[in-house]
Amino acid sequence: MWSSGLGAPLAADLPYVVAMLRPHCWLALTEDDGRGYALLRCRPRD
């Protein structure tokens, strides 16, 4: 089960959310103890 760093489940909304956050934010998929996580990474806007 994938979950976001914010604790909200990732669902069919994911592509929309990713497109909305680009190019300042992106998802970094990681694996910890065999469980998958998507961590939201952002850089400051100029």
**pLDDT tens-digit profile, the chain (46 residues):** 455 555 455 556 777 777 777 777 777 777 777 777 777 777 876 6
Contacts of residue 41, defined as CB under 8 A and 6 or more positions apart, other chains included, come to 25, 26, 27, 28
In angstroms, the CA 9 to CA 3 distance is 5
Token match 């909304």: residue? 13
Q: What is residue 7's predicted lDDT score, i.e. its pLDDT? A: 46
Residue range of the domain that includes 24? 3-42
| Of the candidates 1, 25, 19, 16, the residue with the CA atom closest to the CA atom of residue 37 | 1
Number of H helices, E strands in the chain: 1, 3
User: What total number of domains does the chain contain?
Assistant: 1
The whole-model pTM stands at: 0.31
